[in-house]
Amino acid sequence: MDSKEFKQFVIDKMEDLKARDIVDIDVSEKSTVTDNMLICSGNSKRHVVSIAQNVVYETKQAGHAPLSVEGQQEGEWVLVDLGEIVVHVMQDDTRDFYQLEKLWS
């Protein structure tokens, strides 16, 4: 699976669990850590954690195990590091506060 297909695969897995307001930001020119950030919102702590867990499970099944997962205990903001893609699943208040789209765009 090439990087474009992999990114769409991850977006599909986010959408499978009704992630809202998915934003794809190309940070390849701004970051040496990753090429793309996918940011989405969940309705509650449980929803945020469920979206992230689905991404982790499905990418593992596809042979792309995450490098790390952060924030599952709190459920306000879960980060899934897939190497070339970093997924941010956030509750609305947290997303509004940190404004990652503004920071990286």
Mean pLDDT across the chain: 94
Contact 55, 7 (CB under 8 A): no
Give the whole-angstrom CA distance, residue 13 versus residue 57: 10
Task: Supply 20's token pair.
Answer: 């809202």
**Which domains are present in the chain?**
3-104 (3.30.460.10)
| Reported confidence tier of residue 103, pLDDT bands at 50, 70, 90 | confident
Q: Would the pLDDT of 8 be above 80?
A: yes
C-alpha 26/C-alpha 49 separation (Å) is 24
CB within 8 A of 94, min separation 6: which ones?
Answer: 76, 77
